[in-house]
Structure 1
Amino acid sequence: MNPTLPQPPIPPSVLDTSKMSAGQRAAIEMTEAARDESASTLSFAASLFNGDPDFTTLLPYPVQSVEDRDQGDAFLHRMESFLALEVDPDAIDRDSEIPDHVLHGLAQLGAFGIKIPTKYGGLGLSQTNYSRTAALLGGICGNLTALLSAHQSIGVPQPLIVFGTEEQKQKFLPRCARGEISAFALTEPDVGSDPARMKTTAIADSDDYLINGEKLWCTNGTKAGLIVVMAKTPTEKHPHATTAFIVETSMPGVEIVQRCHFMGLRALYNGVIRFHNVRVPKENIIGGEGRGLKVALTTLNTGRITLPAACAGLAKRCLEWTTQWAAQREQWGQPIGKHAAIADKIARMAAHTFALEAMVHYVSFLVDRDKSADVRLEAALAKLWGTERSWQIVDDTMQIRGGRGYETADSQRDRGEKIPMPIERFFRDSRINTLFEGSSEIMRLFIAREFLDPHLKLGAAIFNTKLPLTTRARTFVKAGWHYARWYPSRWLPGRSASTHAITHPLLEDELRHMQALSRKLSRSVFHAMLKFGPKLEREQLVLGRLVDIGADLFAWSCAISRAESIVENSSQSQAEVDHTIKLVQHLGSLMQENIHTNFQNLFRKIDHQGYSLAKHLLEHPH
């Protein structure tokens, strides 16, 4: 346990961990130490929770440059042609294998190095074009989407681009760009979202480290040549410190124990990887010793954008299939799309798909504008909202298609359907999206920690029993003075929407409603803090509803901004403008309905009743 590289000091946490169990304390302190405190101002998403939306980056809606779009169009055209000619997604699903000629073809296209800079052999495309690629793949083959996403969103390329040394980039990025598959190994048999319980260790031995442990559900792991492995590098001062290593699967001691198989994504190369005294040179550490969790969380922040991007492509394809079917399938003398129950589903699908595309483009723009931008809250909101809405869209698509939705594409083809639609495959493949890279439940807790951060920095010391009484008293006075001005201001009207480049009166109305609900959200966060005090972190259902309100506001805002750009585009027809306005108005109605329901149910007695029942069942299993 003699580290050869210095470990960064752990910044003081704003949270009082003195009354927590040892396991809770370790988990909280680890996560707090890895948080990015570089952002000095509230992002747009954070300002929504604060009740004073800052539209600086959202309005006018970001537009992709002509040069960047042309580069993306050229690659997407090649990719689309390749997928049409060389890829059979149903066969990949049926055989649980991606053919070698498909892997080679993707490598020749440069699909394994989309964002890798050209000087390292990649295509050097923008995050926006990468998201466009994910959307294209998401509407065709979930297995290929997962392969390429795991390789370059959370595998070796992304952490190296952000944290790697020049020597590391020159050594590994060209290999990744040429098609050598990479993976990311964090999860263990007994460890999911609680890295403090990680058992894989890396112990310093001269100029190397010896890694021992086992990783579970390592996507791409059974095909990978390179893996980012998270391992504990404990010291007396930092017993739970983690470090990220680049491990080559050809190294002695790396064992592919088993390939895992799942309900969907049947060609996912996901496995159990075991490490037995694997000797890794210290030059393979990413970001410095003890900074592994920071590397992992930062990588996941950007990588999370890929999931909603793929979900947008999936949702768009489902909407296309559904509208075609609903227009031609007749029941009781008219197309089923004219029946109110089906029309309601189609309208919701269209509105949510429009918003999802708007969110993905906006968050991608933030990354392209500043590679080091703090997009953790925006990316998490897009991931949470996008994966849950796309799952609902796939479910509704199957409901509308009926038996043909539940039937496999192969079966449809065998009995003579002219255009077999693989909705059953999409259904199975998309279920994982609310679990991948942070389940919806974990995302809500992550987002809650982020939107509470300004309040915690201001007033958490009041309840921190580890601090001197004088410090707590000063904090109480400072916080009291702040909230005496802040809280009344959240009851006043917000900034005029017309000052934020919204010209269409109907869209201005939408924005005004959104702003008013943002202010109500900020008040509700404050009310929750007063009601529960330091115990608020235990009220996960309350926090979840606040997060869901913020997610709806974020999606709605992005959709309004995108609609304004369409309205202002002189090349758009009046019919397209009218359609866009209808979409956003319906989205606004859906958002307001969801938001008001969450406000009404914010503090429910049934929450504690349900918790008590579950606790009883755990203590007295039947």
Structure 2
Amino acid sequence: MSQPRNPMSIPETVSFLEQLYLGRFRWDLLRPFPRQDEADRKIGDDLARSLRELLTGRVDSDAVDRTGRLPDGLLDALQEHGFLKARVPTELGGLAVSQFTMFRLIEQAAQVSIPAALTLGIENSVGVGPMLPYLPEGDLRDLIAARLRQGTISGIADTEPEGAANLARFTTATQVGDEYRINGEKIHVGNAPIAELLIVSATVREDDGEHRRLFVVDTDSAGVTHTARHEFMGVKGFPNGGVRFDDVAVPVTRMVRTPPRDDIRLTLEASTMIVAGRLFMIVAPSLAIARQCVDWSCRFVSERKIDSRPLSEYEEIQRRIAESAADVFAIEAVAEWSLLSPTFADGGNPVFEQNAAKNIGSVIAGRVVDRTMSILAGEGYETASSKAERGSARRFPLERALRDVRNFRISGGVEFQLDYWTAEKAIFTYYHPDPDNLAEIEANRVEFDGLTGTDLSDRNEQHLRAAARAVRELSRICLSVARRHPDPATLAAHERPLILVSELANELLTVALVLAKAATLVADGHPSADDLADVYCTSAFHRVAYLRDQLAEQDGPHFGRLAATVLRPAEENRS
């Protein structure tokens, strides 16, 4: 590969998704599909069992949803057992678990309590513990190590009342002698009501201009005020809130000394933490909810009849349950590749795939919950507490799951905004200027070498070949879009094609990972994986066709004109 064109590329490593952007279907990179090391799996099994027992014994999920609070003593218990610093080295009192074991722990926690799982996710993905490996030797590293030994709770304060998508940060840090004075306000701060340390983003004026920097701030510092504990429509009980900083004095040693980046909102290290952290905070609970929905659907239809005919015998019910099971399989495949990829063995994170995983997992889980709601109908829409009051044996909290899962499409970046950013900052960096493999794309040849004899069924080998053709077509679509808008700034103003291209890439990535995982399982004697892959890919290619149709549309409706008409009364009232 030539020199990478965007910051997500890792020198000397090859990303399947990065290659996919360029029209290359690198099936060889996915085989054999990665698995968790057996010894690590056993560690994860034991820890997951212990965590589930701890949470089941202490958390009444209905009560947490009703009161909006986690039970007293839970955080102390989680800290005592090491779960709040599961990724921290053992010499600092942590469990030093692998990334995939951490994912499994959060998914297990989410099956008992989404708010508890999110608290674990924040601490173990974007708290001060995960930041430690990025810090050079010095006062700040020593401080954080000491606080981790003491069992600190932390979080990251970045989003501001002006919005999360702004590149600028309105919170400022002004140097006064050997201190910085921080002023500003943050909202939607995970773990804010319980955190003792916060990683705070702020704008700093330096000799060469203004840069976004990160500071580690004690929440009991003078001038730090907790403004409100946020209540959301879902994830009730997750400690989340606002924080105001009024001339908060922070020693200069508390600034994270990493090179500033003007093209991203945070430092590169923090952005890398957040990209991987979305797997813990979003994909893991999304998978937990989707998995539960399949279980609830099966239990419901196995007990219900319509005019003496079992609900499970109806074709549409069978189709919907099969699609949900295949969707769970897809989320598993994406998570496993994103956290077990051989890229790690080469010393790098599969950042392209991890970035895509957030939208893939949350969108798929949303489909599963919606499908389950239609199957359970009134019993799905009814709250668990209402079912308990009337003595129902089926108290599946699907109504709560619907509220919770909707959060994951907006948390960590609204899905369409993240798709737009990915296309602009990643995909189209390879098409402005022309891609290095331009002749290959224009020749429109598709290589099918290695796509037969895979242990997959004939239908799935057809899906494989269809995926290879679709990946080549993706590169031709990207080339066409880029040539219609040769100026990257002009292309960036046309948001819709960028969003659609990113969605298309995500669909094709998931198809490839599903097929690769299935091929490995079938070879190991698990034939049901063939059906799971076939069901998933069949539905996925319907979505692919729909996305292609939209991208091919040249003269569509005048959305801007209609939007201006609709917006006019609001703008007139504002003036």
Q: Same fold (TM over 0.5)?
A: yes
Shift of 1:286: 2.1
Asked whether the equivalents of residues 322 and 400 of structure 1 are also in contact (C-alpha less than 8 Å), the reply is yes
1:405 paired to 2:376: no
Aligned pair partner of 1:302 in 260, 271, 276: 276
Residue 537 of structure 1, CA deviation: 1.7
Give the alignment partner of residue 199 of structure 1, picking from 165, 170, 184.
170
Aligned ranges 1:49-128 → 2 under 5 Å = 49-128=21-100
Amino acid at match of 2:395: P
Residue identity opposite 1:73 in structure 2: D
Q: Check the 8 A contact 2:58/2:71 in 1, yes or no.
A: no
Task: Report if the CA contact (8 A) 1:315-1:390 is conserved.
Answer: yes
Distance in 2 between residues matched to 1:526 and 1:203, nearest whole Å: 45
**2:239 aligned residue:** 269
**What does 1:271-420 correspond to in 2, within 5 Å?**
271-288=241-258, 290=260, 292-306=266-280, 307-366=282-341, 369-370=344-345, 373-420=348-395
User: Can you list the C-alpha shifts for 1:284-306, whole angstroms capped at 9, x where unaligned?
Assistant: 22243635432332221111111
Following superposition, the deviation at residue 371 of structure 1 comes to: 9.0
For residue 442 of structure 1, give the secondary structure of its aligned residue in structure 2: helix
Note the C-alpha offset of 1:74.
1.4
1:438 partner amino acid: G
Secondary structure in structure 1 of the residue aligned to 2:241: strand
Show the counterpart of 2:528.
579
Q: Which of residues 410, 435, 456 is equivalent to 1:504? A: 456
The correspondence for 2:510, drawn from 543, 555, 558, is 555
Query: What CA distance in whole angstroms lies between the structure 2 residues aligned with 1:285 and 1:57?
Result: 40
Matching residue's letter, 2:111: G
Q: Distance in 2 between matches of 1:145 and 1:602?
A: 38
Q: TM-score, normalised by structure 2?
A: 0.91
1:604 aligns with 2:525: no
Is the aligned partner of 1:528 residue 2:481? Answer: yes
Structure 1 residues 271 and 281, CA gap change in structure 2 (3 angstroms):
same
2:468 to 489, 509, 515: 515
Residue 539 (structure 1) aligned with residue 494 (structure 2):
yes
Q: Which amino acid aligns with 1:346?
A: I
Paired residues of 1:128 and 1:368 also in contact (CA < 8 A): no
Deviations 1:109-149 (A, max 9, x none): 21101111212221000001011112212222111111111
SS at match of 2:206: coil
Change (3 A) 1:543 1:42: farther
Aligned to 1:464: none
Question: Aligned-pair distance for 1:483?
Answer: 6.2
Alpha-carbon distance in structure 1 between the residues aligned to 2:166 and 2:237: 28
Q: Report the residue type matching 1:180 in the other structure.
A: T
Give the structure 1 partner of residue 180 of structure 2.
Answer: 209
Deviates more, 1:607-616 or 1:409-418: 607-616
Is residue 53–residue 515 contact of structure 1 (8 Å, CA) maintained in 2?
yes
Q: Give runs of aligned pairs for residues 9-88 of structure 1, distance below 5 A.
A: 35-36=7-8, 38-39=10-11, 42-88=14-60
Match of 2:426 in 1: 450
Q: Distance in 1 between matches of 2:56 and 2:430?
A: 49
Task: Give CA deviations for 1:229-270 in whole Å, capped at 9, x if unaligned.
Answer: 00001235222x111111010111111111111111121221
Aligned residue in 2 for 1:470:
none
Q: Distance in 2 between matches of 1:367 and 1:432?
A: 31
Alignment check: 8 A CA contact 2:224 2:245 kept: yes
Partners of 1:54 and 1:76 lie apart in 2 by 34
Q: Letter of the aligned partner of 2:429 in structure 1?
A: D
Matched, 1:251 2:221: yes
Code of the residue aligned with 2:468 in structure 1: it is Q
- The alignment partner of 1:304 has SS state of helix
More deviation, 176-185/72-81: 176-185
Q: CA deviation at 1:169?
A: 4.0
Aligned equivalents of 2:59, 2:292: Cα separation in 1: 17
Residue segments in structure 1 that go unaligned for 5+ positions in a row: 1-12, 15-31, 460-478
Change (3 A) 1:164 1:99: farther
Residues 120 and 170 of structure 1 are in contact (CA less than 8 Å); yes or no, is this contact kept in structure 2? Answer: no
Residues 340, 504 of structure 1: CA spacing in aligned structure 2 closer, same or farther, 3 A cutoff?
closer
Aligned to 2:190: 219
- 5+ residue gaps, structure 2: none
Partner amino acid, structure 2, of 1:317: Q
Deviations 1:388-412 (A, max 9, x none): 1101211221221111111221221
Contact 2:312 2:318 in 1 (8 A): yes
The 8 Å contact of residues 152 and 158 in structure 1, kept in 2 or not, is answered as yes
Instruction: Give the whole-Å Cα distance in 2 for the aligned partners of 1:122 and 1:223.
Output: 19
What CA distance in whole angstroms lies between the structure 1 residues aligned with 2:513 and 2:103?
A: 16
Whole-Å separation in 1 of the counterparts to 2:204 and 2:114? 36
Using structure 1 for the length normalisation, give the TM-score: 0.85
Q: CA 1:183/1:203 → structure 2, altered by over 3 Å: closer, same or farther?
A: same
Contact 1:110 1:178 in 2 (8 A): no
Aligned residue number for residue 474 of structure 1: none
Percent of aligned pairs sharing the same letter: 25
Tell me the SS of whatever aligns to 1:221. coil
Specify which of 399, 412, 419 is matched with residue 437 of structure 1. Answer: 412
Quote the residue 2:565 is aligned against.
616
The answer as to whether partners of 1:497 and 1:508 remain within 8 angstroms in 2 is no
Shift of 1:170: 4.0
Deviation >6 Å, runs of 4+: none
How big is each residue's C-alpha offset from its partner over 1:421-478, in whole Å with a ceiling of 9 and x where there is no partner?
A: 111111112211001111101210122021112222x34xxxxxxxxxxxxxxxxxxx
How far has the Cα of 1:174 moved from its partner? 5.4
Cα gap change, 1:606 to 1:107, in 2 (>3 Å): farther
Question: Contact between 1:120 and 1:173, CA under 8 Å: does it hold in 2?
Answer: yes
Q: CA deviation at 1:370?
A: 4.9
